[in-house]
Amino acid sequence: MEYIKIRFGKNLGEMHSRLSRTIDEMFRRVNPMLVLPEQTWRPQMDIYETPKEIIVVGEISGVDKEDLEVELDQNAVRISGRRREVPHGPSIRYHLAEVAYGRFERVLLLPVPINPEAVTASYANGFLRITMGKKLRDQVHRVPIDVE
């Protein structure tokens, strides 16, 4: 079984401030050509939870597993990679070009802290699935009082 690289970092949620995401999205809506060419596409992601887990599913078809990287801390997950362009012959002429190629990066803030020891990732049929166990909430522990 081959594994997807998962690295653990600190404060990934602070890596991309809300302002930079807002500015990037604003430029993308005005004119997609204004977005930095190093990050040319933004895959769609779903985040949902069960009582015990947080699950992230990303649609990243055409990306080789070797070009994927997942980093996380207790509060955020960073998914990055590259979709390489399919080589074409010299006499090609496009009539429609909608598939984006190049680097991508998504930093997703998680709704609850996760346990870094309980993380798995899989990639099949163009979908990346990251399953993260929730960090156990601090439970109240009653201390008995002895009578002297």
Higher pLDDT, 33 or 62: 62
Q: Is the pLDDT of residue 59 over 90?
A: yes
Residues 39 and 104 sit within 8 Å (Cβ to Cβ): yes
Confidence of residue 1 (pLDDT cuts 50, 70, 90): low
In degrees rounded to 5, what are phi and psi of residue 56?
-115, 130
Q: Is the pLDDT of residue 19 over 70?
A: no
pLDDT digits (tens, 9 = 90+) for 104-133: 999 999 999 888 888 999 999 999 999 999
Residues 59 and 126 sit within 8 Å (Cβ to Cβ): yes
pLDDT confidence of residue 91: 86
Arithmetic mean of pLDDT, 23-35:
57
Q: Is the pLDDT of residue 47 over 80?
A: yes
pLDDT confidence of residue 132: 94
Query: Model's pTM, two decimal places?
Result: 0.68
pLDDT confidence of residue 122: 93
Q: What's the topology of domain 6-84+99-134?
A: Immunoglobulin-like (2.60.40)
pLDDT confidence of residue 12: 58
Classify burial at 7, counting beta carbons within 10 Å of its beta carbon; exposed 0-12, middle 13-18, buried 19 or more. exposed
Arithmetic mean of pLDDT, 72-97:
87
Q: What ranges do the domains of the chain cover? A: 6-84+99-134
* Of 126, 130, 108, nearest in space to 57 by CA: 130
Q: Is the pLDDT of residue 50 over 80?
A: yes
Higher pLDDT, 23 or 88: 88
